[in-house]
């Protein structure tokens, strides 16, 4: 049964990617990208990677299609072009790379075998000892926020860098930051009354759910990154329905931009506290005499940092893109 689901999903993925090669229109491509994200998230579930599936669903089927849509809205769909000459160079390059990859798979351990080196060398310790050492059930969170916490700091910095880069690229002359509403409220033309009423009820629950995901990451799938994306999606939903100026008045761009930095600093400071005590960076034993409790506090703090930065940066990026769209409209 598992094998069947697995094969069907893979075939659907191939079909989607194939369709993306053929399709020219940008709107259709965006939709297919979203489908691809959702399918790969489903595949990750069959591979037992629930945290990854959660994230991929939020990113691959949520954030990235949203940004693509905003871009397409700002630049226009563009007319599909007739296919030009056969891209021979591309075909050659892809064939060589693909052949090399296939050769590379030939000496790999077979799929799913439990005695592959990947499952016998470093990973067993996480599975066997993280229960005692970290004291939380979700091993992915243990590895992410403690054993390899420095990678995760790097990840937060990547997201922060993306925010800085987008602001730097899209900053309009004379304005500092992503978006500064210049339109009078109400200039947003068609009010979607039903949607607005429904979403007004929905948004508090989205934000509440984000908080649940934030603090539930130790026990089940979830954590700072997923929570941040969900929190930002609540803000984005508000923005899509009430217009950028309104959402900017409720959630001020300057505040969000500062919060993006605050999240990274929270993460960094959590690590620094250990250094001040003469221990290595990100050693959580500094927080409590009981090492497991120390791990708890440390993980809580860094996940909070992740959540704050992710939610802020995604909001900032949304503001910057939506601002471009409104300028293109105006």
- In this structure, the chain runs to a length of 330
Residue 102 in the binding site for another protein (CB under 8 A): yes
Task: Give the range of 70-78, 193-201, 207-215, 231-239 binding another protein by CB under 8 A.
Answer: 70-78
Binder to another protein among 35, 38, 166, 304 (CB under 8 A)? 166
**Residue 133 CA neighbour count, 13 Å, CB half:** 15
CB 217 within 8 A of CB 45: no
- Provide the b/e sequence for 273-306 (b: ≥16 CB within 10 Å): bbeeeeeeebbbbbbeeebeebbbebbbbbbbbb
CB 201 within 8 A of CB 241: no
Q: For the segment 287-316, give every residue that binds another protein (CB under 8 A).
A: none
Nearer to another protein, 195 or 254 (CB): 254
Question: CB 59 → another protein: shortest distance, Å?
Answer: 5
Binder to another protein among 1, 4, 82, 90 (CB under 8 A)? 90
Residue 114 in the binding site for another protein (CB under 8 A): yes
Q: Is 69 helix (H, G, I), strand (E, B) or coil?
A: helix
Nearer to another protein, 251 or 257 (CB): 257
Q: For the segment 271-290, give every residue that binds another protein (CB under 8 A).
A: 272, 274-275, 278-285
Residue 21 in the binding site for another protein (CB under 8 A): yes
Question: CB 196 → another protein: shortest distance, Å?
Answer: 27
Nearer to another protein, 72 or 202 (CB): 72
**Residue 68 CA neighbour count, 13 Å, CB half:** 17
Task: Give the range of 110-118, 181-189, 200-208, 230-238 binding another protein by CB under 8 A.
Answer: 110-118
Residue 1 in the binding site for another protein (CB under 8 A): no
Binder to another protein among 35, 38, 138, 179 (CB under 8 A)? 138
Nearer to another protein, 12 or 203 (CB): 12
Binder to another protein among 35, 230, 320, 322 (CB under 8 A)? 320
Q: The tokens 């849509």 sit on which residue? A: 69
Nearer to another protein, 199 or 285 (CB): 285
> Taking the mean position of all CA atoms in its chain, how far away is CA 64?
9
Binder to another protein among 317, 319, 322, 326 (CB under 8 A)? 317
Of the candidates 145, 171, 159, the one whose C-alpha atom is nearest the C-alpha of residue 263 is 159
Q: For the segment 43-62, give every residue that binds another protein (CB under 8 A).
A: 43-44, 47-52, 55-56, 59-60
Beta strands in 175-221 (DSSP E): none
Question: Could you write out the DSSP letters of every residue in 302-328?
Answer: HHHHHHHHHHHHHHHHHHHHHHHHHHH
DSSP 76: -
Residue 111 in the binding site for another protein (CB under 8 A): yes
Binder to another protein among 10, 237, 293, 297 (CB under 8 A)? 10
Nearer to another protein, 167 or 248 (CB): 167
Residue 151 in the binding site for another protein (CB under 8 A): yes
Residue 216 in the binding site for another protein (CB under 8 A): no
Q: The tokens 């050492």 sit on which residue? A: 133
Using CA atoms, how far apart are residues 220 and 138, in angstroms rounded to an integer? 6
DSSP 285: G
Using CA atoms, how far apart are residues 169 and 90, in angstroms rounded to an integer? 30
Using CA atoms, how far apart are residues 77 and 86, in angstroms rounded to an integer? 24
Q: For the segment 249-268, give every residue that binds another protein (CB under 8 A).
A: 257-258, 260-262, 264-265, 268
């Amino acid at each position: 049964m598992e094998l069947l689901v697995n094969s069907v999903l893979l075939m659907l993925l191939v079909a989607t990617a194939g369709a993306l090669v053929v399709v020219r229109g940008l709107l259709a491509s965006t939709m297919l990208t979203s489908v691809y994200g959702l399918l790969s998230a489903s595949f990750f579930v069959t591979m037992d990677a629930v945290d990854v599936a959660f994230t991929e669903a939020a990113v691959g089927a949520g954030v990235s299609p949203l940004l693509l849509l905003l871009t397409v809205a700002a630049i226009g769909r563009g007319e599909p072009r007739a296919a030009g000459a056969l891209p021979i160079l591309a075909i050659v390059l892809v064939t060589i790379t693909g052949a090399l990859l296939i050769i590379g798979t030939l000496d790999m351990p077979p799929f799913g075998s439990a005695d592959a080196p990947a499952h016998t060398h470093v990973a067993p310790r996480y599975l066997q000892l993280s229960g005692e050492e970290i004291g939380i059930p979700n091993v992915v969170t243990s590895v992410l926020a403690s054993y390899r916490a420095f990678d995760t700091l790097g990840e937060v910095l990547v997201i922060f860098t993306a925010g800085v880069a987008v602001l730097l690229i899209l900053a309009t002359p004379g304005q500092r930051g992503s978006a500064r509403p210049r339109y009078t409220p109400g200039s947003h033309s068609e009010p979607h009354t039903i949607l607005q009423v429904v979403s007004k009820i929905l948004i508090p629950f989205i934000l509440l759910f984000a908080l649940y995901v934030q603090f539930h990451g130790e026990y089940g799938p979830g954590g700072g990154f997923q929570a941040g994306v969900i929190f930002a999606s609540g803000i984005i939903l508000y923005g899509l329905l009430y217009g950028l100026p309104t959402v900017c008045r409720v959630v001020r761009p300057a505040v969000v931009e500062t919060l993006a930095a605050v999240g990274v600093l929270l993460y960094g400071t959590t690590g620094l506290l250990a250094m001040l005590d003469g221990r290595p960076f990100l050693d959580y034993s500094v927080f409590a005499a009981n090492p497991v409790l120390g791990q708890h506090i440390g993980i809580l703090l860094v996940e909070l940092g992740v959540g704050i930065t992710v939610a802020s940066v995604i909001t900032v990026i949304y503001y910057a893109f939506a601002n471009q769209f409104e300028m293109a409209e105006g």
